[in-house]
Amino acid sequence: MNWMALVLLVLIPLRLTAQDNSTPTVLSLHEMSMDLSPHGINANSCISVFADGHFHIETRFQQLPQSYATLHIYEASLDDFHMQRLRNLLDSSDIRHLPHYTHPVTPMGASSISSVDVQIPREQVLQKIGYFMWDAQTAVPNQSPETTPKVIKEEWSAARIVLIPLVQWFREVEGMKWPEVPISHSTLCEVAATSQ
C-alpha cells in the first residue's frame, strides 16, 4: 500500500451520512496538508456552504506516528456579513476565470504536500478550481508531482494567488466557535446533489 492510500484511509471517516439539505450549495472547499516525516502532522479541513447561510465544517488532524485522525464536525449559519463577503469573492472575475483544477498524478514521490480544492456550482456547470504544492526538497526527481507539465504547475501557482482571499475567509470562519455535532454527520463537505 502506498503512502497516499495509507493517509487517505486515516483521513476519510469510516461512516458517511447523506446530506439532507434541499437548499443549493454555493461552495465546497477542501484544504489539506500532509507531512509524512516520522512525527509529521496531517490535517484536512473542509466546508460546504448553502444558499440560506447554513454551513458544515469538518476538521481532521493526525499526528504521526498515530494511525488515526481526530475528527470534529461543526454546523451553524453564517451571518449576512460573512455570506456577503463569500458571495463577493465567488462572483469576482479572477475566481470565475480560473482554469479547471488538474489534480496531480498519483502515486506521488513527495513526503510533504498541500492542496486546496474548491467546487462552486454556477448557472449550468460545477466550477472545480484549486492548487497543489509540495516540498521540492523531499520530492523524488522523476516522479509526480515533479514530472507534472510546466503549464499545470503554472496554473497551480496562479490559482494559489487568486484563491488567497477565499482561503483566508474559510480560515476565519473555521477559527470561530461553533456548535459541534456527532461524527456520524460526516459528509466530507460534498456538494449536494441538488446543486449539480
Q: How many CB atoms lie within 10 A of CB 6?
A: 12
- pLDDT given at position 178: 97
Domain residues of the chain, as ranges? Answer: 3-195
165 Cβ contact partners less than 8 Å away, ≥ 6 residues apart: 89
The predicted structure's pLDDT at residue 137? 87
> Residues with Cβ < 8 Å from 41, sequence gap 6 or more?
33, 35, 61, 62, 63, 64
| Coil vs helix vs strand at 59 | strand
Taking the C-alpha atoms of residue 40 and residue 157, their distance in angstroms, rounded to an integer, is 24
Look at residue 67 and give its three-state secondary structure: coil
Q: What is the pLDDT of residue 156?
A: 98
At residue 60's C-alpha, the angle toward residues 56 and 62, to 5°, is 175
Q: How many residues does the chain have?
A: 196
Cα dihedral value 84, 101, 161, 169, nearest 10: 30
pLDDT at position 22: 66
Predicted local distance difference test score (pLDDT) of residue 92: 97
Question: In the chain, what is the straight-line distance between the N-terminal and C-terminal CA atoms, in Å?
Answer: 34
Q: Hey, which bits of 78-140 come out as E strands?
A: 112-121, 126-134
> What is the chain's pLDDT, residue by residue, as a tens digit (196 residues)?
344 434 443 444 333 333 444 689 999 999 999 998 899 999 999 999 999 999 999 999 999 999 999 999 999 999 999 999 999 999 999 999 999 999 999 999 998 999 999 999 998 899 999 999 999 888 898 899 999 999 999 999 999 999 999 999 999 999 999 999 999 999 999 886 444 4
Residue 156 CA neighbour count, 13 Å, CB half: 18
For the purposes of burial, counting CB atoms within 10 Å of the CB of 65, is it exposed (0-12), middle (13-18) or buried (19 or more)? exposed
